[in-house]
Structure 1
């Protein structure tokens, strides 16, 4: 008992304090050992998981390499209609794409890989990579083959395929023409052909080949080709609009009028009782007098 005699020297309150302190130390040590044991167990679990990931790392690296080496599929396309996005995807520079677009705005077309390089100034490496996918109309391919067969390489090099030319076709009534007839004209693509057909549908029929001049986004060569390849047949079935009975909405929908002009026409016929002829209309402000002969084909009084 002597070793504990020193403990009896303390008061009752001091002895209680020492016991509480002793208990707290024991509790803290127990918590420390528990947490340390948990961390070791968790680390062992992570190590096992890490080993499992490393076991599959070779397979993951192989899949990544395969994905990085995958190349986008290039499908056959007409190089005349390359968009900014398409050109960038093909490896063309902005300047090269702009040269092609500027060339196309003149109404001309590239008809071979050589033409494409002459216009865009792409490198031989880019041309060699993308030119196998160029797809031109059949008549262009036939012409190129015929030119090479008849004149040889020397002539083919100097006779540029994007010079003015058009597909020979038998003259056709434009009011009976189909899209495939229109695209035979040099400079007329599917989009322009559809635009011409939409205008014909709005009018019922074309009344004059001079109406081709109204397609201002067509090149002069394309308009000339249309006039040479098509004609207006007898008694075209144009949609007539009665100036004295048509509503504001009907007059506004007429391709040669707008809403302001339609209002002015209704005001004039209200004041005069009726409009007698197209000459009276020509006195209205902003009336398109330069097209008065064509407009007259579609009016009734």
Structure 2
């Protein structure tokens, strides 16, 4: 009966018989198998000997929970801040009260439901001399939509004295009431213009200043070129003024130098230089047709300049 050989001898016999390994090669194979086995079992050994993570204390758990709640609250706060309010919320914020549109400030307009930008545009209109004389004047403002006007109309009350300053003056000083009159705009001074209903001292000064740069007005619509004088204001005053185009101060295009041209609002520096250089190179201008040869002058500019030039 044969004695059973140990396993390692069986493996050695099998390896050397089938793979024809030398003793050195056999030992190398055993070392490699040992390393592979060690690599496989090392993680399990490390895990069994490594310290276990301690569970969080109640205090730490509560602290983390509190931080989470703070983050959530902060997020909700920011979301509410940037969220556009719905119609119901906007309506809830509106406070309607009796008001004079010539007197209230930005804050009051906001309480009535206007945005800051809309309210500021109304104050800008008033600062430029604009005034509300009757309830329907409020409807003409671009910042007031038909829906908003319908909501505000029952609460609009325009006092006879206009602004607070005017009320004070009415109580303490007898001021003449402006009547609808007819003023010739090219000869009127600031005192005459101030008599026109809708033109205060500020607009009177601006009109006279712009008239000086132009050389006079040849049509009423040019008044809308005056800073701050919009179509609403123009419609208010146009029936009270007259214009005599024969009073315009004209420029002799064949003798005028740069200094004479430079203040005219219809000409830019490059255009003035072109007019003077063309005159030097080609001689005197004989008619408006000669100006059309200057490409730098548009047909609109030539049309605007025509009443102010003489040849």
Interval of TM-score (by shorter of Structure 1 and Structure 2): 0.3 to 0.5
Max Rg structure: 2
More helix by share: 1
| Structure with more relative contact order (C-alpha pairs < 8 Å, separation 6 or more) | 1
